[in-house]
Amino acid sequence: MCKPPQKKTIEIAYSEYSGIDHLPADLQQLLTLAYKETHNAYALYSKFQVGAALRLSDGAVIPGSNQENASYPAGLCAERVALFSAAGSHPGKTIEWLAVTAKNKTNSVVDPVFPCGFCLQVMVEMERKQNRPIQLIIGQPDTRVLVFDSSYQLLPFAFNADQL
């Protein structure tokens, strides 16, 4: 008789804050900018506006918002807009923090909205490229905010170039 496989557990460590006021001042500013970026989203179809803001090692802050298209696959998420903008306009700079927030047409988003798999895959690759984690701030300014030490925590089995 075959022995059943041993189950393994993945633990995710994060910090949880009951609102933006409990974050350190520099992270409050980053999440506030991400929320302001939701106003720049082009979300004509989903009515779901996502904002992102990242901070580089030199202190530069890069915003991003989701940009939809009638041909849905042609759009980009806010996180990737900010990440690709940083890579293109600040080559060689390290991304230290990335804040993500969202709102819908009724402003009823309460819980943190997590990056999609595409965005997490890009974050993991950028972490690998810069040999340093990107810390994530995910949440809503008026409710819960979660802080993670690395995007790997949210995509622990990410595909990578070593598998090609």
Active site residues: 79
- Residues written for the chain: 164
Question: Which residues are bridge partners to 145 per DSSP?
Answer: 17, 139
CA distance 128 to 101: 24
In sequence order, the 6+-apart residues with CB closer than 8 A to the CB of 20 are 28, 31, 32, 139, 141, 142, 145
Question: What's the rounded Cα separation, in Å, for the pair 91 and 75?
Answer: 23
50 closest CA partner among 63, 61, 35: 35
Q: Which among 107, 53, 109, 104 has a CA at the least distance from the CA of 83?
A: 53
